[in-house]
C-alpha cells in the first residue's frame, strides 16, 4: 500500500483522496489509452483485503478499460454522476446516475464504460480480490493473469507485449 493511501481517519471525503498515479496496470503503450481516467482507491485507503472499491472519474472521451471479462472476479459498478455508455456483448446502453451493473465471474460477459459526453462521469467500481484471476479481452490481442497479486499481460498466444506495440 503506498504511503498516500494509508488510512489516517475512520472516514474520509472520497474525492479529496489523491487519484492513483498509475493510469493502468496494463503495460505501455496500452496504458496510454486510459488518459482521462482517474481512480481513487478507497478500498486500499481503508486497508480492505477481500474486495476493492474505487471512485473513478472518466473525463469526456475517456474509457474505463478495454472491454474485458474476469474468470474469478465479480465486478459491480454504480453511476454517481454523468452518463457513461456501457458496452457489452448485447451492445451499448447509456447509463444515468443511480443506475448500476454487475458482472459475475466466469460468464465471459465482457464489458467496459466510455464517456461519450461533454461532462465528467463519476462512478463506484467494486471487485473482489480473487487469487488466480484471469482477464480476457475479446477486442484486443491481450490476455491478463493475476499472479502473486500482480497482473501480468501477454498477447493471446502467450508472446510478450513489446514497447511500441
- Say if strands 75-81 and 69-70 run parallel, antiparallel, or are unpaired: unpaired
- Give the number of other CB atoms < 10 A from CB of residue 58: 24
Residues facing residue 146 across a β-bridge:
151
User: What does the pLDDT look like over 116-140, one tens digit per residue?
Assistant: 999 999 999 999 888 889 999 999 9
The model carries a pTM of 0.88
Q: Is the pLDDT of residue 28 over 80?
A: no
Q: How far out from the chain centre does Cα 106 lie? A: 17
25-154, superfamily in CATH?
Answer: Jelly Rolls (2.60.120.10)
Quote the Cα angle for 133-134-138, to 5°.
150
Q: Where are the domains of the chain?
A: 25-154
When mean pLDDT is compared across 51-55, 62-66, 115-119, 151-155, the lowest value belongs to 151-155
Amino acid at each position: 500500500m503506498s504511503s498516500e493511501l494509508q488510512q489516517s481517519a475512520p472516514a474520509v471525503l472520497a474525492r479529496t483522496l489523491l487519484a492513483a498515479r498509475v493510469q493502468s496496470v496494463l503495460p505501455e503503450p496500452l496504458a496510454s489509452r486510459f488518459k482521462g481516467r482517474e481512480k481513487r482507491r478507497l478500498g486500499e485507503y481503508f486497508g480492505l483485503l477481500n474486495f476493492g472499491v474505487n471512485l473513478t472519474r472518466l473525463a469526456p472521451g475517456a474509457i474505463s478499460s478495454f472491454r474485458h471479462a474476469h474468470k474469478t472476479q465479480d465486478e459491480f459498478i454504480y453511476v454517481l454522476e454523468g452518463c457513461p455508455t456501457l458496452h457489452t456483448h448485447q451492445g451499448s446502453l447509456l447509463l444515468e446516475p443511480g443506475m448500476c451493473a454487475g458482472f459475475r465471474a466466469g460468464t465471459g460477459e465482457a464489458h467496459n464504460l466510455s464517456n461519450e459526453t461533454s461532462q465528467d462521469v463519476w462512478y463506484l467500481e467494486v471487485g473482489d480480490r480473487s487469487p488466480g484471476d484471469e482477464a480476457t479481452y475479446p477486442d484486443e490481442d491481450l490476455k491478463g493473469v493475476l499472479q502473486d497479486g500482480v497482473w501480468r499481460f501477454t498477447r493471446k498466444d502467450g508472446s510478450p507485449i513489446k514497447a511500441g506495440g
